[in-house]
């Protein structure tokens, strides 16, 4: 079995965002699609870690971090150039405001992400894949018919 650690949430259905992040060509992965026109689709099953740092997850802090994590994941995968990082941070801010977060709190988030989250877009920070030990012994069962 192979798995990754560090996720708190998983989408139950596709989420579509209309953004100003427009790569030169469409990008498609198993869980993320970004069109050249800026339409970001984060697909059902996508896992993300919610709010990072010394903050709490609230209902108005779900969509923004989900989109933000998807953009940063595309950057880590080197499918989206890191020059889009500031726009990704600003898009998260826009989502936070749209979802009812105070401008003060959303501004703090954007500032802190801008200062400290660059490592999360670094291709060297791809999440490690862990492997559970293989079963050493197979259990045999008798089938009673």
pTM of the model: 0.80
Q: Which of 75-79, 82-86, 130-134 has the weakest average pLDDT?
A: 130-134
Q: How confident is residue 112, by pLDDT bands cut at 50, 70 and 90?
A: confident
Strand, helix or coil for residue 106: helix
> Distance between CA 69 and CA 62 in Å, rounded?
11
pLDDT per residue as tens digits for the range 4-63: 777 788 999 999 999 999 999 999 999 999 999 999 999 999 998 877 666 778 888 899
Q: Is the pLDDT of residue 136 over 90?
A: no
Which DSSP category does 50 fall into? -
2, β-bridge pairs: 131
Length, in residues, of the chain:
145
């Amino acid at each position: 079995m192979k798995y990754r650690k560090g996720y708190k949430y998983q989408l139950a259905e596709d989420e579509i965002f209309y953004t100003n992040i427009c790569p030169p060509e469409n990008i498609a992965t198993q869980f993320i699609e970004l069109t050249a026109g800026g339409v970001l689709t984060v697909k059902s099953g996508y896992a993300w870690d919610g709010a990072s740092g010394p903050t709490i997850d609230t209902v108005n802090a779900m969509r923004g971090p989900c989109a933000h994590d998807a953009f940063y994941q595309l950057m880590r995968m080197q499918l989206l150039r890191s020059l889009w990082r500031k726009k990704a941070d600003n898009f998260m801010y826009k989502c936070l405001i749209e979802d009812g977060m105070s401008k003060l709190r959303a501004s703090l988030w954007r500032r802190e992400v801008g200062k400290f989250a660059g490592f999360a877009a670094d291709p060297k920070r791809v999440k490690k894949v862990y492997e559970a030990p293989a079963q050493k012994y197979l259990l045999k069962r008798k089938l009673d018919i």
